[in-house]
Amino acid sequence: DARAASLWVAMSIFAAATSALGWYLSATIVTPLRNAVRFANHMAAGDLSANMDSSRSDEIGAVLRALSQMGVN
């Protein structure tokens, strides 16, 4: 029936959009935060030579630059 087919198409599109959103969030938020945690753990262990570069202009970039500055000071 055409209505059931339309429902399956809509659900497939929704699933694809949800997957794309998850990938986007992972790439733009989760991965940089994991790197920041890894960097902070190096510094907590006493490795002040670690360096983290960030060209991001958002809040995550500000956190990464602040962490990097801690190693300089």
- In the structure, what pLDDT confidence band is assigned to residue 35 with cuts at 50, 70 and 90? confident
Backbone angles phi, psi at 13, to 5 degrees: -65, -40
To the nearest whole number, what is the mean pLDDT of the chain? Answer: 88
Instruction: Provide the 8-state DSSP code for 54.
Output: -
pLDDT at residue number 58: 87
Q: Tell how far CA 58 is from the center of its chain.
A: 12
- In the structure, what pLDDT confidence band is assigned to residue 54 with cuts at 50, 70 and 90? confident
- 5-27 pLDDT, tens digit per residue, is 999 999 999 999 999 999 998 88
User: What is the average per-residue pLDDT within 41-50?
Assistant: 85
Tell if the pTM clears 0.95, that is, is over it: no
